[in-house]
Amino acid sequence: MKEKKCNGYESMFTFLSEKDFLKHLETCEECKKEHERMQKISNLIQEAKPYIKQKRKNSQILKAACAIFIICFTTISIPIYTLGTNVYNQVVASIDANSMTVEEMGLPVDEYGFLYIN
């Protein structure tokens, strides 16, 4: 009587119950080797899990810090910018109100009102 052929580690792991799968591993060398490799990978993942969680936590902290910085920066810089713009406009307006034209200063001008140089 011929033994039932193995469908591969993945299908056996997926479709068999744990008891039947462990029984299958006792008879199939190929699946047993694959299971040992998967156990090694699983152990590596479990070992790296705290580092991955810490990295994710650090990333979230960094994102929160960046968001707080942007909020603080915009909260402070926008009023300063508008204040600076208002001051600049007031200075320009006062200079325009108090300034004399080139013609009023007695300098030679052309027909367009620009300074005329010989």
DSSP 66-113: HHHHHHHHHHHHHHHHHHHHHHHHHHHHHHHHHPPPTTTTT--B-TTS
What residue segments make up the domains of the chain, in order of their start? Answer: 9-98
- Residue-wise pLDDT for 18-74, tens only, equals 898 888 888 888 889 999 999 999 999 999 999 999 999 999 999 999 999 999 999
What band does 5 get if pLDDT is binned at 50, 70 and 90?
Answer: low
Q: Which amino acid is at 70?
A: I
Distance CA 98, CA 24 (A): 99
Report pLDDT digits (tens) over 79-102.
888 888 888 888 888 777 777 777
pLDDT at 2 > cutoff 50: no
